[in-house]
Structure 1
Amino acid sequence: MSGGELQTGKSAGRKSALRAAIALAVFIGILIAVYLARPNDFLLYIKAFHVIAVMSWMAGLLYMPRLFIYHSDAEPGSAQSETFKMMEQRLLRIIMNPAMMITWVLGLYLAWDVYDFRGGWLHAKIGLVVLLTIVHVVFSRAVRGFAADGPRRTPRYWRMMNELPTVLMIGIVILVIVKPF
Structure 2
Amino acid sequence: MNGEEKQAGEVAGRRSALRAFIALGVFIAILAAVYLARPNDFLLYIKAFHVIAVISWMAGLLYMPRLFIYHSDAEPGSAQSETFKMMERRLLKIIMNPAMMVTWVLGLYLAWEAYAFRGGWLHAKIALVVLLTMVHVLFSRAVVNFAADGPRKTPRYWRIMNELPTVLMIGIVILVIVKPF
* TM surpasses 0.5: yes
1:62/1:166 contact within 8 Å kept: yes
- Asked whether the 8 Å contact 1:50–1:106 carries over to 2, the reply is yes
Looking at structure 2, the residues matched to 159 and 13 of structure 1 have their Cα atoms a distance apart, in angstroms, of: 31
**Paired residues, what number?**
173
* Structure 1 partner of 2:85: 85
Alpha-carbon deviation of 1:139? 0.2
Paired position in structure 1 for 2:39: 39
Q: Which residue of 1 aligns with 2:66?
A: 66
Partner in structure 1 of residue 152 of structure 2: 152
Residue 17 of structure 1 contacts residue 94 of structure 1 at CA under 8 Å; is this kept in 2?
no
Q: Which runs of 5+ in 1 are unaligned?
A: 1-8
Deviates more, 1:161-170 or 1:37-46: 37-46
Contact 1:61 1:136 in 2 (8 A): yes
Change (3 A) 1:104 1:140: same
Instruction: Tell me, in whole angstroms, the C-alpha distance in 2 between the residues paired with 1:91 and 1:51.
Output: 19
The unaligned stretches of length 5 or more in structure 2 are 1-7
1:168, distance to aligned residue in structure 2 (A): 0.2
Q: Deviations over 1:97-133 (max 9, x none)?
A: 0100000000000000000000000000000000000
Single out whichever of 99-108 and 19-28 deviates more from structure 2: 19-28
- Secondary structure of 1:26's aligned partner: helix
Separation in structure 2 between the aligned mates of residue 20 and residue 83 of structure 1, nearest angstrom: 22
Give the 5 Å matches for 1:4-19.
Answer: 10=9, 15-19=15-19
The two structures have a TM-score, normalised by structure 2, of 0.91
The offset of 1:38, in angstroms, is: 1.2
Q: Which runs of 4+ in 1 moved over 6 A?
A: none
Q: TM-score, normalised by structure 1?
A: 0.91
Q: Percent identity?
A: 87
User: Which whole-Å deviations, capped at 9, do the CAs of 1:133-158 have from their partners, x for residues lacking one?
Assistant: 00000000000000000000000000
Quick one: distance in 2 between partners of 1:124 and 1:131? 11
**Counterparts of 1:63 and 1:24, CA distance in 2:** 24
Q: Shift of the alpha carbon at 1:20?
A: 3.5
- 2:179, 2:133 → 1: CA distance? 21
